[in-house]
Chains A and B, each alone.
Chain A
Amino acid sequence: MIALWSTSIGKKAVMAVTGFILTGFVVAHMLGNLKIFQGEEKFNSYAVWLREVGSPALGHQQFLWVLRLILLAAVALHIGAAVQLTRMSYAARPVRYRRTEAIHATYAARTMRWGGVILTLFVMYHILHFTFGAVGYAPGQYRPMSVYRNVVVGFSVWYVSAFYIVAMIALGLHLYHGVWSMFQTLGVNTVGADRFFFRTLATVTSLVVILGNISVPVGVLAGLVR
């Protein structure tokens, strides 16, 4: 295992596996978010359910914490590997070209690192925003466990919604390259037909996540979600 980590390919493989976990989380989270369109009661009871998953075998919020720890580990490994690989890449070309031209690399591919930085900052804001109510609310506006209320109030601030929408596009770009990249890095898509399939899968995942997620702030601003 350690030997694998020491190779550049091994580090990428770790990014692929952790990326897979994170992508899975993002998709599930997006599906959960859409529940807001089912109305206040359903949405709030979903939040309660999340904290009681597995009871009586698991205690209050236990499942949620296990999930959080897994995600934290995945993020740490994903970013850790990315940082190491980035440093290797910069060291690999100490003298820069006077002129460069990208022929095949997509905008998404070229912005993975900065996209990742933006997404990290976004995630930190998002947790402080909806999980703790520490930002984005006037004093007293945030009520723990009144998730429906919190979301509607939070997204009613147009520049916060705008920020989320931009972040979702960044997420979409990251997924557009990342999901396809996962399968390339793990060497799954070696046969011709597979390559078309995985490219389509990545595009669809990316679009679905973007649209699914921005439907919420857009819905709030448009008055569909009150």
Chain B
Amino acid sequence: MNLTLRVWRQKNAHARGRFVTYEARNVSPDMSFLEMLDVVNEELIGREQEPIAFEHDCREGICGACGFMINGIAHGPKRGTTVCQLHLRTFRDGDHLTLEPWRAKAFPVIKDLVVDRGAFDRIIQAGGFISAPAGAAPDANAILVPKEDVELAFDAAACIGCGACVAACPNASAMLFTAAKVSHLGLLPQGQPERNDRVRNMVAAMDREMFGGCTNMGECQAVCPKEITIAFIARLNHDLLAASFKGRKPPRTAASP
């Protein structure tokens, strides 16, 4: 099959960038989307042109490295699928596809379809971990964890940090990502002592990164390759409001841990 691609090319973070059209000729419907881009890139290299830069790693939908917009949908049209899992049989011969990087102030474009997702890091750094000193670990069976809590924590922890939620959100909000982490840790017993500080600090970090606010549209949930739902956002909202009315501790910063 043949496909026409309109791809965003940008030389580096300071360049202007523009769309360039490429033809993917004679590609097999069994190919994954990234394999198709590999083929296009081989051709470009052969013509001494710069290949399209895009992030990728595991090629199996677990590492969160890959991701861009295909015709306005993050990770392409198939639900619960990353671009590396997307196969060309999803498209028809002759389709025109527009490829754009994640667009958000908090995700500056580095090159072509590659963006800087350090903002996510900084949100986690604000509290997405357990600081209670482990000391001598007691028998794991001594702290029983209800199965339903664990299962829900799993669903939340499944977030791979790809950023599709931010990209798809009309407000470029990072609520689903933050909610996933807050919920995961907030559901486990070891996460309880710091639950209030964690949510306050992480939400403050999220706002500092200049993501937008949530208007409950649900676009994030629709594109999340791990199918994380906005029920976790409700959890996050609940946790933040509850934390705001409880005892106050000054937020953790790099200067005063």
Contacts and interface: CB of A to CB of B under 8 A. Distances in A.
Q: Give the interface residue-count category, chain A.
A: 35 or more
A89 B216 contact: no
B153 interface: no
B20 interface: no
A101 B167 CA distance: 11
A112 interface: yes
A92 B210 contact: yes
Q: Is the interface of A mostly helix, strand, loop or mixed?
A: helix
Interface stretch (A53-61, A151-159, A180-188): A180-188
Interface stretch (B31-39, B53-61, B238-246): B238-246
A184 B170 contact: no
B212 A13 contact: no
Nearest to B242: A187
A92 B210 CA distance: 6
Contacts of B172: 89, 92-93
A9 interface: yes
Interface string A54-93: 0000000000000000000000000000000100111111
Q: Is the interface of B mostly helix, strand, loop or mixed?
A: mixed
Contacts of A42: none
Given A184-B233, A186-B237, A187-B241, A93 B72 contact: no
A180 B216 contact: yes
Nearest to B244: A4
Interface of A: 3-4, 6-13, 85, 88-105, 109-110, 112, 177, 180-181, 183-190, 192, 195
14 contacts: A4-B244, A6-B207, A9-B213, A11-B213, A12-B213, A85-B213, A92-B104, A98-B8, A98-B19, A103-B223, A104-B221, A105-B170, A181-B215, A185-B214
